[in-house]
Structure 1
Amino acid sequence: MTDIPFDAIGFDLDGTLLDTFRDLGAAVNHALVLGGFSEVSIESSKDLIGGGAKIMLARAVEAQGGLPEDEFRRLYKAMLGYYEANNAVHTAPYPGVREVLATLADSGVRMAVVTNKFEAFARNVLTQLDLIDAFETVIGGDSMGKGEDGQFLAKPHPAPVLAAREATGDGLFVFIGDSTYDVRAARGAGVPVVAAAYGYCDRPPHELGADAVIDSFAGLIPALNALGAAN
């Protein structure tokens, strides 16, 4: 058993636990073609990930001239439908994820997923990859409902991270993610945050403002030990 200096850990999903860009990129391209737009390169779809599927598609559409709101909604629904049916074709855990999660579980660490992906999609992907049982809760971009402005309370709002902390016992909690959305949500929730440099970072990893940066998932436990020693 490994001694971990945190009681619970929250994980972002896309770009942190799972390499999802190929399936997300295919869904974006499906919608773009329906709308008469040019496809984006699958590799470049990494740059669109971060704020959830709606923002991902919006960025791709805006880069090609934009659409009226009603037409965009139609494409967005088409994208979600395609992704629902094809969300684990190429998606896979990053190297080391299964082994590290098993070590954390054996050490009594409680774990949660906090993603801007819709909760049902996140649960579906994790179930297909046989990872769902590692987590006490999965909080998606739609799990917390909407705020007064009508927008979902998703990252960078701290509410999902706070909910994950509560669901895992309100002990010493740390969050792991790969974007400014993750860092801002963790900061707002008042918990330390580790940046996944191997993910889809929307800024250079060392400029995200995290407390630690890891180059691979296998580096997570040493980073947690270093954070614990420093606090």
Structure 2
Amino acid sequence: MNDIPFDIVGFDLDGTLLDTHRDLGEAVNHALALGGFAPVPVAEVEGLIGGGAKLMLRRAIDNQGGIGDEEFRPLYKALLGYYADNNTVHTCPYPGVEEALETLASQDIRLAVVTNKFESFAAAILTQLGLADRFVTIIGGDTLGKGRAKPQPDPILEAIGRCGGGRFVFVGDSSYDMASARAANVPVIAAGYGYCDMPPHELDADAVIAGFDELIPAIKAL
């Protein structure tokens, strides 16, 4: 019996489904080194994640005094090139992710990814990890065009449409995720174990989970 009160579950990627911080950090540090900047310590990488790779690199550089757009562009291009070749060196699903996805799929719940990572990167990483075929759609920060990524509601609304409509709940770890879900008028669960840009219980989520083993009970309780 399906006792889950939703037809679709949408997920953010970085810090929600996957622990990506080491690979992202190494890509950022590759670009920083080319620009003559100091590397970001691994322990500080999570605080930069959210909003996509460009914002991540911009934050890292701004923390060291900043540079102009002309100098920034080649460093950002270098980051993307490095990450394209090295995005699943350390990246892996969080504990319990595969089991939870399997349980949801077994109850005919449609699954979607809505991330601010480029769609090509998200799809490639999920494919390499053997997870891509679990999702009806993978929507990236560039999928819908400029200005339509999270925190806008557009990617969540697009995910609902691509999944055939129905009751939707979103799971994410940042204020971008919460704002996008609120703007789309759907309930949202905070992944408190992820790269939260503020304390998880201050993210204005409908529920907070400390691990993926708590996800399905949290969904059922909404």
| 1:157-176 to 2 correspondences below 5 Å | 157-176=152-171
| One-letter code aligned to 1:161 | I
Structure 2 equivalent of residue 156 of structure 1: 151
Shift of 1:120: 0.1
SS in 2 for 1:112: strand
1:90 aligned partner: 90
SS of structure 2 residue aligned to 1:171: coil
The one-letter code of the counterpart of 1:170 is G
Q: Which amino acid aligns with 2:37?
A: F
**Which consecutive unaligned segments of at least 5 residues does structure 1 have?**
147-151
Match of 1:120?
Answer: 120
Rounded Cα–Cα distance in structure 2 between residues aligned with 1:35 and 1:49:
20
Corresponding residue of 2:20:
20
Q: Secondary structure at the match of 1:130?
A: coil
Equivalent pairs counted in the alignment come to: 222
Q: Distance in 1 between matches of 2:16 and 2:86?
A: 20
After superposition, what is the alpha-carbon deviation per residue over 1:171-224, rounded to whole angstroms, capped at 9, x for unaligned? 010000000000000000000000000000001000000000000011010001
Shift of 1:2: 4.9
Distance in 2 of aligned mates of 1:211 and 1:219: 14
Q: Secondary structure at the match of 1:6?
A: coil
Large movers: runs of 4+ above 3 Å: none
Q: Which residue in 2 is equivalent to 1:189?
A: 184
The equivalent of 1:54 in structure 2 is: 54
TM-score, normalization: structure 2?
A: 0.99
Give the structure 2 partner of residue 207 of structure 1.
202
Partner of residue 6, structure 1: 6
1:106 paired with 2:101, answer: no
Task: Kindly indicate whether residue 198 of structure 2 is the aligned counterpart of residue 224 of structure 1.
Answer: no
Give CA-to-partner distance per residue, 1:118-149, whole Å, 9 cap, x none. 00000000000000000000000000112xxx
3-state SS of paired residue (1:175): strand
In structure 1, what is the Cα distance between the partners aligned to 2:42 and 2:35? 18
Aligned to 1:149: none
CA distance in 2, matches of 1:162, 1:142: 15
Decide whether the 8 Å contact of 1:22 with 1:43 is kept in 2: no
Deviation by residue 1:28-67 (Cα, 9 ceiling, x = unmatched)? 0000000000001012100000111000000000010111
Shift of 1:69: 0.4
- Give me the whole-angstrom Cα distance separating, in 2, the residues matched to 1:43 and 1:111: 31
Identity %: 65
User: Once the two structures are superposed, what CA deviation does each residue of 1:45-101 show, in whole Å capped at 9, x if it has no partner?
Assistant: 000001110000000000101111011011000000000000000000000000000
Tell me which amino acid in the other structure corresponds to 2:136: E
2:57 counterpart SS class: helix
Structure 2 gap segments, 5+ residues each: none
